Homo-oligomer: A and B are copies of this chain.
Amino acid sequence: MPELRKDPVLGRWIIISKERSKRPTDFIVEEPRVIEGGFCPLCPGNEKTTPNEVLVFGREPILPPNSAGWKLRVVPNKFPALVIEGDLEKQAEGLYDRMNGIGAHEVIIESPNHEDRFSFLSQEQMLFVFRAFRNRILDLAHDKRFQYVMVFKNYGRPAGASLEHPHSQLVALPILPRMVISELDGALSYYKYKDRCIFCDIIRQEIQQDVRLVCQNSHFVTLSPFAPRSPFEMWIMPKEHSSSYTEQSEQSLAALVDIFSESLQRLDACIPNVPYNFVLHTQPLRSQPLDHFHWHFEIVPKLTSIAGFEWGSGFYINPMPPEDTCTYLKEAM
């Protein structure tokens, strides 16, 4: 059973995932190895090598579960950081806090084609992905043990991907992560002071200034944020205020597909095949709609490394102003 432990000073939670444990010398390779060529557990025909699917799109209803013929599958992670079965059993150990590592860890297999890349998926296929995010969050919200679903993608080996086949992931958590709390708190402070959503204000200012606005459509904007952690960081935000990703209309999802493709293709035109992470920022599960929070995606290319200074300070050093990034991205296509 994995374990959740809290740093008593910072309140930072750590997952001790002992199932993955190794001897000291097994750690010498820093980056996860991507298995190139060879057997792929996510490819059609190998469905039996993954845990049973929890969601599927595009397979004929006459075919059995966990068979080929699908367009998208969601399966539990075979090596989960957290496990679905059990109780939290919160306990103290002297001044420390721990609980069982209960949660869900799922893999969204974005396409049956091993060679596909998320940035260049067809509209139909990318729409399946964004629908899968929505459906899985809504389903996991029924489990009262969970407070948050973190949806993210690691693309490329330096960004932490350990499988080549196009996929994203989600982790359902029994506690609100520190970063989510900080973001909600920061947004709430602003709201209390100004009576407006800070993200709505950011969008208004960015459209007006037009120096960090990469692209926009009827429903969304893509920005180079004012204080980016990395060159070419991008935020994709709905123009209309909404705190929950799952509340989107089908029309909005289609517009999201358009702007997400365009943004990633602009990035790819600037730095071909750059590794990146994206993370969905949305409200906690079962929360009422929030006037002060605004859901969005943050895309962070993996271009700089986190060293001692960043560890100690929480500062990031970024060698390119977002206004320059934005110019490159706008001129890219």
When distances are taken between beta carbons in the complex, the residues of chain B under 8 Å from A313 are: 150, 171, 173, 177-180
Contact B312 A9 (CB under 8 A): no
When distances are taken between beta carbons in the complex, the residues of chain B under 8 Å from A9 are: 183, 186-187, 190, 198-199
Q: Once bound together, how far apart are the Cα atoms of A228 and B159, in whole Å? A: 21
Q: Once bound together, how far apart are the Cα atoms of A187 and B10, in whole Å? A: 8
Contact A13 B227 (CB under 8 A): yes
Contact B159 A10 (CB under 8 A): no
**A100 within 8 A of partner (CB):** no
Contact B16 A321 (CB under 8 A): yes
Shortest Cβ distance from residue A160 to the other chain B in the assembled complex, whole angstroms: 3
Using known A-B contacts A81-B317, A152-B311, determine if residue A14 contacts B228 with beta carbons closer than 8 Å. yes
When distances are taken between beta carbons in the complex, the residues of chain B under 8 Å from A199 are: 9
Contact A177 B227 (CB under 8 A): no
When distances are taken between beta carbons in the complex, the residues of chain B under 8 Å from A183 are: 9-10
**A333 within 8 A of partner (CB):** no
Within 8 A of B (CB), among A20-57: 20-22, 24-25, 27-28, 30-32
When distances are taken between beta carbons in the complex, the residues of chain B under 8 Å from A27 are: 231-232, 271, 274, 301, 303
When distances are taken between beta carbons in the complex, the residues of chain B under 8 Å from A17 are: 317-319
Within 8 A of B (CB), among A203-231: 205, 209, 225-229, 231
Q: How many residues of A contact B (CB 8 A)?
A: 96
**A6 within 8 A of partner (CB):** yes
When distances are taken between beta carbons in the complex, the residues of chain B under 8 Å from A166 are: none
**A11 within 8 A of partner (CB):** yes
Copies of this chain assembled into the complex: 2
Contact A160 B20 (CB under 8 A): no
Q: Once bound together, how far apart are the Cα atoms of A123 and B32, in whole Å? A: 37
Using known A-B contacts A186-B11, A305-B30, determine if residue A94 contacts B279 with beta carbons closer than 8 Å. no
**A286 within 8 A of partner (CB):** no
When distances are taken between beta carbons in the complex, the residues of chain B under 8 Å from A279 are: 308, 311-312
Contact A30 B158 (CB under 8 A): yes
Which one, B14, B201, B309, contacts A169 given CB within 8 A? B309
Contact A14 B311 (CB under 8 A): no
Using known A-B contacts A186-B9, A186-B10, A227-B6, determine if residue A150 contacts B328 with beta carbons closer than 8 Å. no
Shortest Cβ distance from residue A315 to the other chain B in the assembled complex, whole angstroms: 5
Counting from the closest, the 7 A-B pairs by CB-CB distance are A160-B307, A152-B308, A279-B312, A177-B313, A277-B308, A179-B314, A20-B319
Excluding A22-B319, A178-B313, 15 further A-B contacts by CB distance (< 8 Å) are A9-B190, A12-B314, A14-B317, A16-B320, A20-B319, A24-B271, A31-B305, A96-B205, A150-B312, A160-B307, A169-B309, A179-B312, A279-B311, A279-B312, A306-B306
